[in-house]
Amino acid sequence: MYTQSFNVPDNAGGKTVPLAPSTEDPVLQAAFDARIDADGRIEPQDWMPEAYRKTLVRQISQHAHSEIVGMLPEGNWISRAPSLKRKAILIAKVQDEGGHGLYLYSAAETLGTSRDQMLDGLHSGRAKYSSIFNYPTLTWADVGVIGWLVDGAAIMNQVPLCRCSYGPYARAMVRVCKEESFHQRQGYEALLVMMTGTDEQKAMVQDAVNRWWWKCLAMFGPPDADSPNSALGMRWGIKRVSNDELRQKFVDATVPQAKVLGVTLPDPDLKWNEERQHYDYGQIDWAEFWETVNGNGPCNKERLATRVKAHNDGQWVRDAALAHAAKKQAREMRDAA
Amino acid sequence: MSAAIDYLLHLADNALVLGQRNAEWCGHGPILEEDIALSNVSLDLIGQARLLYQLVATLKGGDCTEDKLAYFRETHEFRNYTLLELPHHGPLSGYAQSDLDYGTTIVRNFLYSALMALLWEALEKSANADLAAIAAKSLKEVRYHLRHSRDWLVRLGDGTDESHARVQASLDHLFPYTQEFWVQSPAEAAAIAAGIGVDVTTLRADWDAIVDAALAEATLQRPAVGGYVTEGKRGIHSEHLGFLLAEMQSLARAHPNGVW
């Protein structure tokens, strides 16, 4: 679904940030810097600084893990989808998230890290994934709200990544963004239909909006002033727009959509600021955000344990596929001899 | 008219119930590629079910819809093969719990796809033009399902000692349920008489050939069958369908006037 930007935050200075002292070959480093400055793409076979490679592996694998863990909260409602049409849409959507995980693991593999290594990072708890998926999906309306708000926030984060300096990641993101945009519209459409239904349905939608709104604002990561290791992400063209800018863009886009839908966004401080030409909004609970990022949210343990269980339960299937492939190859070689 | 409806419901319920079962893997597959593949199979089956229910709703008229048929019929009104409602694990009572087993999933998909690859092909010549069109679309899909499940059956059978033993156990568990394929129900008899349906027993030799060739390649033993023959397609089900439907229908029934 998306990766939140807490690992590579931003700096309004962008490319004016001075380079960190480098121990890399100065000639290769200069060529790399020149290509970044010219907004060129770095491809897998190109030379790149180790720190750039590491940062990308971390970010892309976090993004991939987020897609895979993100299948669980929505997958929770597949069996109970209230119509066959919605069931088919939801399966297709969750399947898309799996597909995104696949492209992203593949993109990260071009940097020399295997999918097994990345999965080991997830399963051992070393690697992070988007904290939004550590909240529970309590009603069917959560499925629509995740599409509308969570995928909506994801798109804001991800569209700039289509211009990311690393070619395979940027190209994967073009496809991911097209699908996410479709997901966002389907979520909003599902809610529009529910809002024409019974009072219980309308209350269900409002309740889901109340529970997800603040979590979605936190998805953009900490305020720019508190973003720790940001300069290089901007310098390297991996991150292009700051957390606060993206968050503001999301709020400004969402307020009119909420009005059309007929729901209230749960923030008494939310109001138009004529001077800024933007909506002002209230204070995000960052303590809760960091607790959840650090493993202490409502569903962290369940989500991770579910991924680990699927992986462990599937070991015999993967072993069988490898054993069969080896046997088949041995037979073919014997027949050819 | 009634002959067509009963027969179409049998085909639709098969697709829906197996689609619902296969979707249980979404997010839990043994490897990401299989997670995606099983979701795809499930989507195809639910798509087939929708077309068939829509056709039934048209034939019934009034306020009948695909969702009324899927969500507001009782367990005994479902006409699917019992094979398709079983959980993804070995034989256990209805309220017993167990882990999902990929071998069971693959064996079931293989046995059913092998039948449907033949049945949809024959139904392309149905006297009901709408059913013939659905059959043509479904045939393309089921050929992929058969290829997918057959490939995995061979991998698991001819894989490790553990996978061989596990998939043989799944086969031993599920194979007796295929006896239901060959016992004609009144709905099937009426549909054959009306030129709408196909006599499945005429497909049996071809099904045996597909199954035996795959089992030989997978180094698996075809189990001997006999004894009780399930009657899901006559509405007499296992203990498992009630739970599947209770979950599937719960939200729709909690909001009978809801719009989705």
Of all residues in chain B, the one with the smallest CA distance to A303 is B27
pLDDT in tens, B81-118: 999 999 999 999 999 999 999 999 999 999 999 999 99
Q: How confident is the model at residue A63 (pLDDT cuts 50, 70, 90)?
A: very high
Tell me the pLDDT of chain B averaged across its residues. Answer: 97
Dihedral of the alpha carbons of B177, B180, B182, B188, in degrees to the nearest 10: -150
**Chain B residue nearest residue A195, CA to CA:** B259
Q: What chain B residue is nearest to A78 in terms of C-alpha separation?
A: B23
The CATH number of domain B2-88+100-254 is 3.30.1490.190: no
Q: Could you read off the pLDDT of B140-181 as tens digits, one per residue?
A: 999 999 999 999 999 999 999 999 999 999 999 999 999 999
Which of B30, B42, B248 minimises the CB distance to A314?
A: B30
pLDDT band, residue A337 (cuts 50/70/90): confident
For residue A212, how many other CB atoms are within 10 A of its CB? 22
**CA nearest A107: which of A175, A29, A38?**
A175
Q: Which chain B residues touch A200 with a CB distance below 8 Å? A: 255, 258
**Roughly what angle, to the nearest 10 degrees, separates helices A300-313 and A115-123?**
140
**Torsion sign, CA atoms B187, B193, B197, B200:** positive
Contact A95 B43 (CB under 8 A): yes
User: What ipTM goes with this model?
Assistant: 0.97
Write the pLDDT tens digit of every residue in A188-217.
Answer: 999 999 999 999 999 999 999 999 999 999
Band of pLDDT at residue A21, cut at 50, 70 and 90: low
User: What is the model's pTM?
Assistant: 0.94
Separation of alpha carbons B29 and B12, rounded Å: 26
Select from A75, A86, A105 the Cβ nearest to the Cβ of B26: A75
Q: B39 touching A, CB under 8 A?
A: yes
pLDDT score, position B98: 95
Give the span between the Cα atoms of A183 and B56, in whole angstroms.
31
Write the residue in B67, B154, B160 that is nearest to A84 by C-beta: B67
**Helix, strand, coil in percent for chain B, rounding step 5:** 70, 0, 30
How confident is the model over A261-300, as pLDDT tens digits?
Answer: 999 999 999 999 999 999 999 999 999 999 999 999 999 9
Spatial distance between the Cα atoms of B208 and A190, rounded to a whole number of angstroms = 46
Lowest mean pLDDT, pick from A239-248, B94-103, B104-113, B224-233: A239-248
Closest by CA position to A186, among listed A225, A215, A217, A147: A147
Per-residue pLDDT of B7-56, as tens digits, reads 999 999 999 999 999 999 999 999 999 999 999 999 999 999 999 999 99
Domain boundaries, chain B: 2-88+100-254
Tens digits of residue pLDDT in A95-149:
999 999 999 999 999 999 999 999 999 999 999 999 999 999 999 999 999 999 9
Q: Which residues pair with A166 in a beta bridge?
A: A42
Phi (first) and psi of residue A280, to 5 degrees: -85, 150
Nearby residues of B33 by Cβ (< 8 Å), 6 or more positions away: A102
Beta carbons of B27 and A75 less than 8 Å apart: yes
Query: Which residues have a Cβ under 8 Å from the Cβ of A115 and sit 6 or more positions away?
Result: A105, A109
Length reported for chain B: 260
Predicted local distance difference test score (pLDDT) of residue A24? 80
